Amino acid sequence: MLPISRERLVVVGNGMAGMRTVEELLKLDPTRFDIAVFGAEPHPNYDRIMLSSVLAGEKQVDDIVINTRAWYEENDISLHTGDPVVKIDPKARTVTAQSGLTVPYDRLLLATGSKPIVPPIPGLNLPGVCAFRDIADVDTMIDASTKHRKAVVIGGGLLGLEAAWGLKRRGMDVALVHLMPTLMERQLDETAGKLLQRDLTERGIAFFTNGQTEEVTGKDRVTGIKLADGRGAPADLVVVAIGIRPETTLAREAGLEVNRGIVVGDNLSTSDPDIFAVGECAEHRGQVVGLVAPIWDMAKVCAHHLAGGGELIYTAQVSATRLKITGIDVYSAGQLAAGEDEDEIVLRDARRGAYRKLVMRDGKVVGTVLYGDVTDGAWYFDLIRRRTDVSDIASRMILGQAALGGGTQEPDVAAMPDDMQICGCNGVCKGTIVDTIKAKGLDSYEAVKAHTKASASCGSCAPLVRQLLAATLGVEVTGPAIPTVCKCTDHTHEEVRTQILKQKLKTQAAVREAMAWKTPDGCASCRPALNFYLLCAWPGEYQDDSRSRFINERAHANIQKDGTYSVIPRMWGGTATPAELAAIATVAAKYDVKEVKITGGQRLGIYGIKKPDLPAVWGELTDAGLVSGHAYAKGLRTVKTCVGLEWCRFGTQDSTSLGKQLERLTWGNWTPHKFKMGVSGCPRNCAEASIKDFGVVCVESGFDLLVGGNGGIELRGTDRLCHVATEAEVLEYCAAFMQLYREEARYLDRTAPWIERVGIAYVRTRIVDDAEGRKVLAEKFRHAQSFLQDDPWAERANQGVDATEFKPLPALV
Amino acid sequence: MTELTWVRVCALADILPLGARTIPHRKGEIAVFRCGDDSIFAVLNRCPHKQGPLSEGIVHGHRVACPLHSWVIDLESGEAVAPDIGCTPKIPTKIEDGAVWLAVPA
Ligand code: SRM
Ligand SMILES: Cc1cc2nc3c(=O)[nH]c(=O)nc-3n(C[C@H](O)[C@H](O)[C@H](O)COP(=O)(O)OP(=O)(O)OC[C@H]3O[C@@H](n4cnc5c(N)ncnc54)[C@H](O)[C@@H]3O)c2cc1C
Ligand code: SF4
Ligand code: FES
């Protein structure tokens, strides 16, 4: 047992600031205090920042707990959760909790955080309205997303946007109302705010800017919102995220000096020297905080004074903001726009949708706003914090550190000074990370994170931390393992494809030899992969190897469970002529087939053909002008179309004709896995374009192009690639996209997992932003097609290709 | 006791390397495989799993992967490769004068 005579520290608020201060204190002097913690929430201390990730479905509540109940026990801290403190008596030096429990203190720490601002509008007490501050709010939102469709978020700041994105990810229709003309106006300038709005609109969030919410409507539950200018939106869930206000009720009632927040000095004590305040509830030199980086500084200084120190003082630092929406990179720090004494340097890259701005004063950077590409954020931030004189590089530094240093793509961690801050949230410098790795012999990213807390909060510096670990250990740090082609080799798909091109390997035997295969003729996994990679690398040159193809592709028909085959002719865009239908009927009757079925791909399948009969069947179909539908191929399958402009009262373009053109362009192609398309005549999307590998949705002004959808085992909706105006462009983008997929995806990757891995942003840079590159890809595709568009059925029916495949040897008597 | 007789079934060249042919027989269809090293194997064309036609599988080493559910059958023994368990009857083969011979029940 520890001595009873210890000083008593009571902490009000079991949140990020309070518990960080306790952690810092335990580091300095673990036995000084007998500690009691009161928390209004029923949970142990968790990472509030990560609520956004929990809402977006990227993390579970259990993943974000910082200190478990066991931790409190180990450190002999008595924890009272779900029991808010309701009264402080500074004279008696006691606090009283809601449960009636009164405890005495020698030192009191207030860390009550903030509460969401509630605007004075009617309807906010209805079920279905919540804020975005704690686990209970997130539970409310997740629950609503499983039962309801429509959400409205009020507030276009960081929290509102992250709430909107999380709800969108959970499948809700989301509209966001923002009072100002541009989003995140306190962290972003107008240009970046507009880019952000554009990108989020593209992701399906609707915006009402300049929108003053006047009323939340509904009787038993919310039904919608009304704006002052008459606009409105239906809603089953309303999230209010218009700002926060320091939680100061207790302090005020206890007679402490309170302004906007609880007033604290440089040592973080309040107007009562025994009472300290940290975090969002505190006001230091007229400033309150709303991000964790300054809070960690407060925690350190406060712990120092609680532990009896007298030197450290807290000074406010500039802090940087980063939005946590996967795939959208926004970074800002310091001053957002030039005043009278400042200059702005701006770089716009409209094609990439990237933007960066530096605000300069007297040859120093005082602010930055980055959109799209934020790799240089940490560098600029460091220059701001150090007030480095950059006059001599001012004009070039907007291009980024890499452009100055001679062209490495990634920030050069080795060249960074030791006191450069890597993790803004936790204030961890490069030196600390490197020293800890060496002193503790750390060898994994997880260990570095656990020991230094670098990247343990918002996680955005994780890549830098990984690089530092790699540089310190002098090795590559592995992320998730990259799969090898198969057990016959230790090489990855990517390595094999690179070497095929680099060493001009043109046969499978050459690849196996050059890359030290462990088997003489590979296996059923690597042979089809190599066959495809070579076919893709050397069009017209490499001779397809039928014995490296799965039976369906070798026999150009799908094998069925009874060993018979199905024959599925192409029906361009799902259409057929009477003569074609007649030929199918004739074949079905003549060969006594068991079934003719309309497939899920909009065409007719003929089932139960015996293998030796296949060439004859094909011969008859070929005579009627039918070609293989490649229903068996890792290649183009079907192009599903709707009737479109030609017939439909809503059609905006001729979707059937466009579908046929796409099918004529791409049939016969081989791809890493099967490839399906859909073309719909309007956004009602009857051809289900949004679950295809390449989808087109026609609109009045042209065509929306969609990619990476999959309706199979794991349902995935498409990503929007871009909008184009003409059919010719649709064809060019399609050819280029297919070629990129052919060249870069791993064999047996559908487009969906491939895009999940490389990101839609990457695909856009290659296909949309880089017009020159797109043309080259499309041209390569057409070149390959000049060798591939021979109907395999005609070749086998009439030209004797692969004759032995279909003919059994003479019977033995 | 069954008596076996050697019969000539085709020229070696009638089977493509890493390929297979089938031969109808009254006891069931036979699959004859030609491996990468030109060795010849024959088994009953019936996968021990669900009777898949082994002749349609991809041949590698002295093995074939069944086209239906990818069991791998060792052609030297007719046994399924672990973890699968099963066996398909083997038919003795030989190559003489560039021709493929099988020993079948008389
Ligand atoms: C015939 C058909 C079912 C039907 O009777 O309608 C069919 C039949 C088969 N599908 Fe399918 N799929 C058929 C439309 C679909 C669709 C619907 C579509 O294309 O709109 C899908 C979901 C959409 C998608 O792919 O995104 C579909 C998703 C799959 C999957 C899962 C793919 C995935 O990436 O998750 C497989 C398994 C695979 O490919 O590994 C599969 C595999 C198969 C195989 C090839 C199974 C096999 O390996 O033997 C079946 C072949 C039977 C045969 O011989 O015809 N089939 N399959 C359809 C042929 C369409 C055509 O005309 O070509
Ligand atoms: C969704 C979301 C995303 C965010 N993202 C980021 C980000 O990316 N980067 C960043 O830097 N910051 C972010 N923040 C802000 C960051 O979480 C806060 O700045 C930080 O949590 C503040 O710490 P605190 O301890 O002052 O307050 P809190 O963490 O809120 O802790 C205060 C605690 O005190 C409790 N309490 C209040 N009154 C009483 C009482 N009378 N008795 C007992 N307990 C009481 C509260 O219930 C609460 O649990 C985000 C915040 C949210 C909500
Ligand atoms: S869903 Fe597709 S793979 Fe499954 S049984 Fe039907 S046709 Fe076969
Ligand atoms: S029938 Fe051969 S693996 Fe199933």
Q: The CATH number of the domain where B78 resides is what?
A: 2.102.10.10
In a domain, B37, yes or no: yes
A811 touches B at CB < 8 Å = yes
Overall domain count for chain B:
1
Per-residue burial over A668-688, b if 16 or more Cβ lie within 10 Å, else e, is bbbbbbbbbbbbbbbeebbbe
Which residue type occupies A228?
A: A
Write out the residue range of the structural domain in which residue B54 sits: 16-91
Residue B65: which of A520, A524, A812 has the nearest Cβ?
A524
From A11-15, A28-32, A442-446, B85-89, the region with the lowest mean pLDDT: A442-446
Residue A107's DSSP bridge partners are A9
Using one digit for the tens of pLDDT, what is the confidence trace for A594-607? 899 999 999 999 99
Using one digit for the tens of pLDDT, what is the confidence trace for A541-592? 999 999 999 999 999 999 998 889 999 999 999 999 999 999 999 999 999 8
Distance from the alpha carbon of residue A600 to the mean position of ligand 3, in angstroms? 10
Ligand 4 pocket, residue B66 CB under 6 Å: yes
A519 touches B at CB < 8 Å = yes
A1 has a pLDDT exceeding 50: no
In a domain, B39, yes or no: yes
Q: How far is CA A350 from CA A347, A372, A407, A707, B16, in A?
A: 10, 10, 22, 22, 57
Q: Which two tokens stand for residue A478?
A: 């592995």
Average of per-residue pLDDT across A442-469:
80
Ligand 4 pocket, residue B25 CB under 6 Å: no
The model's pTM is 0.54
pLDDT for the residue numbered A481: 58
Of B44, B46, B50, the residue with max ligand 4 atoms within 8 A of its CB, to mutate for a pocket test, comes to B50
Are A170 and A140 in contact by the 8 Å Cβ rule? The answer is: no
In a domain, B4, yes or no: no
Distance from the alpha carbon of residue A18 to the mean position of ligand 2, in angstroms? 10
Question: What ipTM did this prediction achieve?
Answer: 0.68
Q: Which domains does chain A show, CATH number per domain? A: 7-113+246-306 (3.50.50.60), 129-242 (3.50.50.60), 320-473 (3.30.390.30), 493-549 (no CATH), 552-623 (3.90.480.10), 636-788 (3.30.413.10)
Q: Which ligand is nearest to the CA of A39?
A: 2
Q: Which residue has the higher pLDDT, A429 or A733?
A: A733
In a domain, B102, yes or no: no
In a domain, B74, yes or no: yes
**Which residue ranges have their beta carbon within 6 Å of ligand 2?**
A 12-18, 38-41, 48-49, 51-52, 84-85, 111-113, 132-133, 159, 162, 247, 250, 279-280, 290-293, 295, 324, 425, 458
In a domain, B101, yes or no: no
Of A6, A50, A11, A57, the closest CA to residue A29 belongs to A6
Best A549, A551, A566 residue to mutate vs chain B (most B CBs within 10 Å): A551
Question: For B102, which residue in chain A has the nearest alpha carbon?
Answer: A812
Q: Which two tokens stand for residue B86?
A: 């099963």
Pairing of strands B99-105, A702-707: unpaired
A349 has a pLDDT exceeding 90: no
Using one digit for the tens of pLDDT, what is the confidence trace for A456-497? 777 778 778 888 888 887 765 444 457 789 889 989 999 999
State which ligand 4 atom lies nearest to the alpha carbon of B67. Answer: 2
Average of per-residue pLDDT across B74-78:
94
pLDDT for the residue numbered A476: 54
In a domain, B86, yes or no: yes
Using one digit for the tens of pLDDT, what is the confidence trace for A135-192? 999 999 999 999 999 999 999 999 999 999 999 988 899 999 999 999 998 888 888 8
Give me the half-sphere count of Cα atoms (radius 13 Å) on the Cβ side of residue A709.
Answer: 21
Q: Is A523 close to B16, i.e. CB distance below 8 A?
A: no
Q: Is A551 close to B9, i.e. CB distance below 8 A?
A: no
pLDDT for the residue numbered A449: 83
Residue A7's DSSP bridge partners are A33
Q: Which residue has the higher pLDDT, A295 or A382?
A: A295
Are A110 and A281 in contact by the 8 Å Cβ rule? The answer is: yes
The alpha carbon of residue A646 is apart from the nearest alpha carbon of chain B, in Å, by 43
B63 has a pLDDT exceeding 90: yes
In a domain, B10, yes or no: no
Distance from the alpha carbon of residue B65 to the mean position of ligand 4, in angstroms? 9
**CA gap B105, B91 in Å, rounded:** 10
Computed over every residue of chain A, the mean pLDDT equals: 90
pLDDT for the residue numbered A735: 98
Long-range CB contact pairs, A642-645, < 8 A, 24+: A642/A679, A642/A680, A642/A681, A642/A686, A642/A687, A643/A681, A644/A679, A644/A680, A644/A681, A644/A682, A644/A698, A645/A681, A645/A698
Per-position DSSP letters for B10-61, written without gaps between them: EEGGGS-TTEEEEE--TTS-EEEEE-TTS-EEEEES--TTT---GGGSEEET
Using one digit for the tens of pLDDT, what is the confidence trace for A119-139? 999 999 999 999 999 999 999
